[in-house]
A and B are shown apart, each in its own frame.
Chain A
Amino acid sequence: MTVGRFATIEDIRAALKSKTTSAVELARERLDRIAASDLNSFVTVCEEDALAAAGEADKRIACQGQTGLVGVPIAHKDVFCTAGVRTTCASRMLSEFVPPYDATVVTKLRDSGAIMLGKTNMDEFAMGSSNENSYFGPVSNPWDATRVPGGSSGGSAAAVAAGLVPAATATDTGGSIRQPAALCGISGLKPTYGRVSRYGMVAFASSLDQGGPMARSAEDLRLLLQHMEGHDPLDSTSADVGPTPHETDGTGLRIGIPREYFAATVDDAAAILERLGHGRLEISLPHTAYATAAYYVVASAEASTNLSRYDGVRFGHRAESPVDLDDLYARSRSEGFGAEVKRRILTGTYALSIGYYDAYYRKAQRLRRLVRQDFLDAFETVDLILAPSTPSTAFEKGALVAPDETKDPTVMYAQDVYTVPASLAGLPALSIPCGIVDGLPVGMQIIAPHFGEDRLLSLAESFQRETDWHQRTPAVHGTNARASDTSGGRYSMEGRRGSAGSGGGAQRMQSAGPAMGRS
């Protein structure tokens, strides 16, 4: 017998433990679903390797029983290097790149027994909030195929939301885990900067990038984090803090709600938390209005140099018959990178160049300190911060990105308005489902002090014990609806508490304008 399409890792572990299914059976079934899916959430599927690894896992389970993540099928965002398996970053530049090494996260998850089924689609070099900037084409949102899954970890989010895998790795630079998690109705955790090694994770913005898990529950996030985190001597910025403890009982916490965020969408969630015995306080994060601008300067500046290594000399795309060195560089790079990547490279180059450095790069880093200080001050009086994850539910494909690139790119940047402040400050933050508006999921964001993942997860776990938004699933399209049977009932189930939506039925919850403070 099989486990449900939308089974959590805990469900799967139980099934493997009780031998109601095998790792091979699970892998086979998920691989079939991936093959049948038309979401375009995978760039590469590793069928043979996955089945071989699942066979090994079954042997291990037979001898030692199921431990850790043994036999659990997962997917990796295609930003993590996998030895011998193409790692593209959804870019033409790396479309044929096969790394000779594994990312530390990949090694750790393999060591824990997880089975990698494949590599998920994403915005090119993790730059984007809709997964429309992919050399391999856009990803569809499982809740509505005409809409985007969010980005940049759109493939991972869609794959988990559609039940193709129970969990996937992802990365978050300015919201790339939290925003797609929210738009796809799943749980996603961006750990504290430095908690998870960046080694082997193709760099976008080094001082912001952080790997983390996406899954169907906060409980699963905790389990995955345990197998991803840890100090890594190969990453100078990796924190030597020991494993995330599991000791917070998650009661009686003081929850701050920032006045600068449009928090109406999390009102219902806040009410639930109050009912659970937590305090609710209004707080102020006064420099929020500058966060998006500062983020785009810092991230682009770092990216502009991180992407200089793609020059067509040692690996990656190389232009045909270059006439000279300049031609080799300019054509290889211009052909290899998509429009958004070029925009960020040029923005970063601008922000770092003579005459602009102080006004942009240095200014942004000063604002970064102020943004971080806002949080540090707030955490003097509250334990956690509750905020929306995104300014809207999933939007239509093509709404913010046009094939001819004629849309204003900064409208897309506003998608990150609620997620970039915690990124700039290096804080751990997660997004979990807290409602459905017009058939589309809504996410809420919880932000904790540095290395406060335990507290963060405890609150999310207690919220998910009280609600079932995280168990809501999209109607399954395609040929493989069989496995959705077990959750069919849940899909129509109302939350135990009322809808967290704004009530007006508007798909766009709120425009980002006021919160961003843009004139």
Chain B
Amino acid sequence: MSDWESVIGLEAHVQLKTRTKIFSGAPTAFGAPPNTQACAVDLALPGVLPVLNGEAVRMAIVFGLAVEGDIAERCRFDRKSYFYPDLPKGYQISQLDEPIVTGGHLDIENEDGSTKRIRLTRAHLEEDAGKSLHEDYQGKTGIDLNRAGTPLLEVVSEPELASPEEAGRYFRTLHTLVRTLGICDGNLNEGSMRCDANISVRQRGSTELGERTEIKNLNSFRFLDKALAFEIERQIDVLESGGRVERQTLLYDAERDETRPMRGKELSDDYRYFPDPDLLPVMVTESMLDEARATLPELPTAKRRRYVEELGLTDYDARWLTVDPDTATYFDAAAAASGQPKAAANWVMGDVAAAVRREEAAWTRVPVPAAQLGKLIKRIEDGSISGKIAKSLFQTLWNDGGDVDELIGSRGLKQVSDSDEIAAIVRRVIDANPAQVEQVRSGKTRVLGFLVGQAMKASGGKANPRRVSELLQEALSGDAS
């Protein structure tokens, strides 16, 4: 095995989060009843014409800027012809010679924290096809064209990924990026991101590429990993037994965990690309670029750097918080509201994350608004409430909502820092625990903790523990003298 190395390139299909189709004004929402989101243009009825959705262009530009690719001043759409029932026009509108984005790169992070730069060949706009449903309609296939015409950004990497693990990291990095950019919802289980993988293997150290195969339509991180692992092993087996890898298009069968040659679908030996005469050249103007630049959010890499360098978070925390852009958005808001980034990070990664996991909530809809979490953290910091009270208050906020300050007030949760009041409690505790008091006095200072606990208990958890400790020590030393 170790004599071989694999070379992988990915073509990722990123569904753009536009409201309408790329060439029609029909909606793109997922999960509608069959063919209720396919208008005359999507159905390719006679005489209808495509008109390009400006938002899809804007999103492609945003992506191009984020990966530092070249954004073409002029790009063009081509027809790619093949017959398949989920392709209503008999051709797909795509971009062949003049894609909107050329070049660029994605930096992926290896296990050891080092980064590897993966160059992008291009990113182009195209339309998605419909869906073929093979459940039994009396031996027939049903065609749902709701997805037909959904805008896709096809992101093509150079064959620079060396293993299924790297390919997985690349795909995850891309996933985080397009979600951060707000151009894709990233719902893999709804097919919002799929990829085709090109794989070849070669003797370690060789500079020539072996014959490659292509696996189509991988729609989860897990399938990508398993399909690549299987295919690499298969190719090595073929080569080691003296055979030759055949250039072919494969499908990954998840049930059997194997790749097998694809039949029919989307396959042609001649797609007859030519410029679509129904569409004119797209010109990307300076003002379109400026507008896209202005809306460009902070990218994951920059965000991570800022968390470490400006907010003082650990690298681990920074990475944890930036994997999912919605988590980062929540954290940013909580950190800003609290003025305590480290504390905010602990809360987000601790109690908030636990609750999100437990309740299967979305980071965009955490029931405790980041502003309330920020206030909560502030109230701990200014001594208004104890950490323990804060934890239970967080649960209250999660379950019932409300305002931190109002709840502290109405439920009497405010920490008691008044010296007289605490002194009275301390007095009672000292009186009630003579044995422990004696132990402390004889030098067993560890027992002081027990007394503090008793005082806290007596205060219903509201006494300021620091103040309790101070007054206890004061009282005990005073008694001794």
The answer to A–B direct touch (Cβ < 8 A) is yes
Shortest distance between the CB of A441 and any CB in chain B (Å): 32
- Chain A 78-91 near chain B by CB (<8 Å), digits 1 or 0: 00110000010100
Contact (Cβ within 8 A) B52 A314: no
B375 contacts chain A at the CB level, 8 A cutoff: no
Task: Name the contact of B277 in the complex, choosing from A205, A308, A313, A315 (C-beta under 8 A).
Answer: A205
Shortest distance between the CB of A240 and any CB in chain B (Å): 12
Contact (Cβ within 8 A) B89 A308: yes
Complex: chain A residue closest to B143, CB-CB: A313
Complex: chain B residue closest to A80, CB-CB: B47
Contact (Cβ within 8 A) B274 A309: no
Contact (Cβ within 8 A) B48 A206: no
Complex: chain A residue closest to B79, CB-CB: A305
Contact (Cβ within 8 A) A236 B81: no
* C-alpha gap A200/B90 in the complex (Å): 18
Contact (Cβ within 8 A) A236 B89: no
With A305-B79, A329-B83 as given contacts, are A237 and B280 in contact (CB-CB < 8 Å)? yes
B85 contacts chain A at the CB level, 8 A cutoff: yes
B210 contacts chain A at the CB level, 8 A cutoff: no
Spot the interface stretch: A95-103, A134-142, A402-410: A95-103
Shortest distance between the CB of B337 and any CB in chain A (Å): 45
Contact (Cβ within 8 A) A100 B47: no
Complex: chain B residue closest to A101, CB-CB: B40
B453 contacts chain A at the CB level, 8 A cutoff: no
Contact (Cβ within 8 A) A309 B272: no
Contact (Cβ within 8 A) A236 B51: yes
* C-alpha gap A314/B48 in the complex (Å): 14
- Chain A 306-339 near chain B by CB (<8 Å), digits 1 or 0: 0011010111000000000100010000000000
Contact (Cβ within 8 A) B47 A103: yes
A248 contacts chain B at the CB level, 8 A cutoff: no
Contact (Cβ within 8 A) A309 B47: no
B245 contacts chain A at the CB level, 8 A cutoff: no
- A361 contacts across to B, CB distance below 8 A: 274
CB contacts under 8 Å to A, within B309-355, are none
B279 contacts chain A at the CB level, 8 A cutoff: yes
Contact (Cβ within 8 A) B274 A198: no
- B40 contacts across to A, CB distance below 8 A: 100-101
Contact (Cβ within 8 A) B272 A81: no
A203 contacts chain B at the CB level, 8 A cutoff: yes
B113 contacts chain A at the CB level, 8 A cutoff: no
- Chain B 39-63 near chain A by CB (<8 Å), digits 1 or 0: 0100111111111100000000000
Contact (Cβ within 8 A) B85 A313: yes
Task: Name the contact of A314 in the complex, choosing from B43, B50, B276, B277 (C-beta under 8 A).
Answer: B43
- B83 contacts across to A, CB distance below 8 A: 308, 311, 329
* C-alpha gap A377/B270 in the complex (Å): 39
Complex: chain A residue closest to B41, CB-CB: A234
- B270 contacts across to A, CB distance below 8 A: 353-354
Complex: chain A residue closest to B83, CB-CB: A329
Contact (Cβ within 8 A) A309 B46: yes
A72 contacts chain B at the CB level, 8 A cutoff: no
- A379 contacts across to B, CB distance below 8 A: none
A349 contacts chain B at the CB level, 8 A cutoff: yes
A235 contacts chain B at the CB level, 8 A cutoff: yes
B88 contacts chain A at the CB level, 8 A cutoff: yes
- B45 contacts across to A, CB distance below 8 A: 99-101, 309, 314-315
Task: Name the contact of B81 in the complex, choosing from A203, A308, A315 (C-beta under 8 A).
Answer: A308
* C-alpha gap A305/B143 in the complex (Å): 21
Task: Name the contact of A311 in the complex, choosing from B85, B145, B276, B280 (C-beta under 8 A).
Answer: B85
A94 contacts chain B at the CB level, 8 A cutoff: yes
With A236-B279, A329-B83 as given contacts, are A200 and B48 in contact (CB-CB < 8 Å)? yes
* C-alpha gap A491/B111 in the complex (Å): 93
* C-alpha gap A222/B343 in the complex (Å): 77
Task: Name the contact of B272 in the complex, choosing from A100, A199, A234, A349 (C-beta under 8 A).
Answer: A349
- Chain A 479-508 near chain B by CB (<8 Å), digits 1 or 0: 000000000000000000000000000000
Shortest distance between the CB of B56 and any CB in chain A (Å): 14
Q: Chain A: residues with CB nearer than 8 A to chain B?
A: 80-81, 87, 89, 94, 97, 99-101, 103, 198-203, 205-207, 233-237, 301-302, 304-305, 308-309, 311, 313-315, 325, 329, 349, 352-354, 357, 361
**7 examples of A-B residue contacts, CB within 8 angstroms:** A100-B40, A100-B45, A206-B278, A305-B272, A311-B90, A314-B88, A354-B269
